[in-house]
Chain A
Amino acid sequence: MNHLPFVAASYAIGILLPASFAITAWMRMARASGQLAAIDPRRQRGAPSARGAKP
């Protein structure tokens, strides 16, 4: 019996599953950070591009 397909499937799971968690976590963090930067008054005050926009 050739065991290599079982080994390959295990490594595929061992790489793809943590990678999918990592990518979704990263995307979620980036999206939340972007939204917060857009609506948070303290961040807008601190951001150079927003300086001077308000009197």
Chain B
Amino acid sequence: MKPMHLSDAPGKVSLPPFIEERDSQTLLAASPLLTVENLCLTRGESLILDHVSFSLRRGATLGLVGESGAGKSTIALALIGLLRPPEVGLGGSFALDGTGELADATDATWLGLRGRRVAMIFQDAAAALNPCFTIGRQIMTPLRRIMGLGRSAARERAIELLESVGLNDAPARLSAYPHQLSGGMQQRVMIAIALSSDPDLLLADEPTSALDVTIQAQIIRLILDETRRRRASCIFVLHDLALASQCCDEIVVLYGGQVVETGPSRVVLEAPMHPYTQALKGCVLELDTEALTPLPSGAPSFASKTPGCRFADRCPRALGKCAAVKPPLAETRGRKLACWNPL
């Protein structure tokens, strides 16, 4: 049973200041939609994801943050079943509310889930849209195949969707090819395609990193508005902590495929306890930043077989045991933290 349909709330709804509204709504819907437990992903000898655990409530937004190579996109691809054995090795478990275990799900199971329950917005809309087909064809395909609509119903719904993501002159846009649209418009089309089959979980992999700042604000706002309206959940993959603090309820900080700190974004980002979270925060430029405190270079290597914390060799607070014993992810002051020597 879908909680709300697009046509129930046509046009733009003016929303009260969004943080308050979101908080009240997440309180109403606190059942977990997604649970990920000890997810491990291996590629050859390398351990790309190392016992990643988190859960996501219905209606909440979660941000996966970290440097490149932290495994953010890998998690997103695994959650939509695009990284599966035999290409990679999967261990642990993850499941959506109402589905069985998905770590070893079959092709048939995924075909039933992709689009219907989980949809993805990719980073590079220009590359994700097929240049050979019109926008209309690309948005109507899931409507017809997944939602089972007829040709004219699909067309109507496509126009409705394109209008809801702020594309003006939608009927004419149906026959446009991706290259005829600007980057922001392409990203809107991809959001419309992702939303077309009313998924419960939307995965947005750096949806705005190729866009201008004013367009970035529009797109983030659009994703938040649309997911909230459908009471869907959203996972953002981001590298900008400031942006993450603005659009995510929960945050998962990843380093080298390990979760180092996770919890409500206010708690984690206002007073980070893991030295890595603190260091990432120190790299964010704000308008009044006087001096940056860059991390020493040396991105984590997946080949490293260090038994301990992967951040230890860059960490200013590392102790002797950090490199030897992996710290457990334990509940500390309103968050979960994996560190032997927290701030």
A, B assembled together:
no
Q: Which residues of B contact A (CB under 8 A)?
A: none
Q: Which residues of A contact B (CB under 8 A)?
A: none
